Structure 1
Amino acid sequence: MDFAFADLLPFIAIGFAAQLIDGALGMAFGVISSTLLISMGVQPKAASAGVHLVECFTTGVSGVSHALHRNIDLRLFARLVIPGVIGGVLGAYVLTQISAETARPLVLAYLSLIGLYLIWRGTGHPPRERDPRVIAPIGLVGGFLDAAGGGGWGAIVTSNLLIQGATPRKVIGTVSAAEFFLTVTISATFIAALGWEAFTHVTVGLLIGGVVAAPLGAFMAKRLRSNHLLLLVGIVLTATSAYGVFRALE
């Protein structure tokens, strides 16, 4: 790769902002980064591969940071990781063989509705906190859609655990930590199928910005109140999903 540092600066800024949001709210790095790459003309499967290579590092730093701030529920983590990895491998394989974009508008519309519900919860109607019951299927679907769509693990898993009443701080930290194992598996699958062609100066910039922001995101997740986390998750989820629907229907 031959490029100047100035070429990296816009992508460092984007990686920093995307990971700051992702670390604090448990979602959005993949969605923001993939949208950027695809808007630049990168093929969806190459964009997804590049983002997941970056996330191998950002999710590792984020997971350690969340662990240090005691934001992780180990029981929930154990129940998410294996289904998520299985779904991720299936999604990565599907994306290297066929286009999985057909169902994307429907998934994004569903996430927009979940986002609106979380906004309502965060503005004075917080759910009674309780242990979530549906975990493994959410992990499986989240892993599959994350690989097939270039992002979505946090949006699917975090939002669905929150509407079941799980503690926001623990959900965000646990989902972020589990994502490390998911992205490593997905990246290995992509590398086996595509090689290293997706690792460009764009992904290098995203990597630098994301790694720097990861500890700050975990700190924010610990400090923000539960109802504020619900509200912010709802806003980010609704905005990114609604934009995705608009782009998909253009």
Structure 2
Amino acid sequence: MNKKLFKTLLLPGVLGAVIGAALLAYLGESYGSWLRPVLSVYTLFLGLRILLNAFRKKNESRKVKHAGWLAGAGGFLDSFGGGGWGPLVTSTLIAKGKTPRYIIGTVSLTEFFVTLASALTFFVILGTSHIQTIAGLIIGGLIAAPIAAKFAGKLNTKSILIAVGVLVIVSSVRTIYKTVAGF
């Protein structure tokens, strides 16, 4: 885990999640549904870039500017759009050439707090009417974060890049296909 990155992502990610959850609770889900395909087009390109990075001779790590804004957008999309923290934040940071094992571990740990903030916001606004969903978000975050960190520490960088790239591409194509098929 990268403590500096964790601190950079935490507050903006939580703030974005709270704003996204509040807007979704007040506006309704129909407004969030149009964000998924837009995000998927972006993450499709990120997935392709990650795959290219896996097969390059030397991965140059570039400084990530505006990581706080990235975290805020990821937290917002995660709450308002029904997902986005992992695809947006993790993929963007890995595509910039950052070490995947640290990125996955750090972003997964931060995601727990982002999910918790989102769930608590929904709970405060909506009450107990959606308690099963809120509990599922919290329990899922508790289970997923340490598993992701454990796997990230055991795999080599090229394997992680290939796995993340393929997963992001498949997820993005699936969402785009479902959107197009729905028209």
TM-score range, shorter chain: 0.7 to 0.9
Secondary structure (helix, strand or coil) at the match of 1:196 reads helix
Q: Which residue of 1 aligns with 2:86?
A: 154
Secondary structure (helix, strand or coil) at the match of 1:187 reads helix
Contact 2:101–2:153 (8 Å) recurs in 1: yes
> CA 1:214–1:132 in 2, change beyond 3 Å: closer, same or farther?
closer
Secondary structure (helix, strand or coil) at the match of 2:128 reads coil
Q: Equivalents in 2 of 1:147, 1:218: separation in Å?
A: 22
Q: Which residue of 2 aligns with 1:217?
A: 148
TM-score normalised to the size of structure 2? 0.85
Aligned residue runs from structure 1 range 99-248, under 5 A: 99-124=31-56, 127-200=59-132, 207=139, 211=143, 215-248=146-179
Residue 244 of structure 1 deviates from its aligned partner by 1.0
Q: Equivalents in 2 of 1:174, 1:219: separation in Å?
A: 11
Q: One-letter code of the match for 1:189?
A: T
> CA 1:105–1:207 in 2, change beyond 3 Å: closer, same or farther?
same
Greater share of residues in helix: 2
Q: Which residue of 2 aligns with 1:67?
A: none
Q: Equivalents in 2 of 1:134, 1:231: separation in Å?
A: 26
Give aligned pairs, total: 176
Residue 228 of structure 1 deviates from its aligned partner by 1.2
Q: Which residue of 2 aligns with 1:88?
A: 17
Q: One-letter code of the match for 1:230?
A: L
TM-score normalised to the size of structure 1? 0.64
Contact 1:111–1:156 (8 Å) recurs in 2: yes
Secondary structure (helix, strand or coil) at the match of 1:165 reads coil
List alignment gaps of at least 5 residues for structure 2: none
List alignment gaps of at least 5 residues for structure 1: 1-71
Identity %: 34
> CA 1:197–1:164 in 2, change beyond 3 Å: closer, same or farther?
same
RMSD (CA atoms):
2.3
Contact 1:112–1:241 (8 Å) recurs in 2: yes
Q: CA-to-partner distance for each residue in 1:113-147, whole Å, 9 max, x for gaps?
A: 11111112113455213542331110011010000
Structure of higher RCO (CA pairs closer than 8 Å, 6+ residues apart)? 1
Residue 231 of structure 1 deviates from its aligned partner by 1.1
Contact 1:83–1:137 (8 Å) recurs in 2: yes
Q: One-letter code of the match for 1:238?
A: I
Moved over 3 A (4+): 213-217
Q: CA-to-partner distance for each residue in 1:174-223, whole Å, 9 max, x for gaps?
A: 1011112211111111001222333449x66x948x73x65443222101
Secondary structure (helix, strand or coil) at the match of 2:129 reads coil
Contact 2:17–2:76 (8 Å) recurs in 1: yes
Q: One-letter code of the match for 2:156?
A: R
Return 126-135 or 175-184, whichever deviates more: 126-135
Secondary structure (helix, strand or coil) at the match of 1:166 reads coil
Contact 1:93–1:189 (8 Å) recurs in 2: yes
Q: Which residue of 2 aligns with 1:75?
A: 4
Q: CA-to-partner distance for each residue in 1:87-137, whole Å, 9 max, x for gaps?
A: 111111111122222232111111111111111211345521354233111
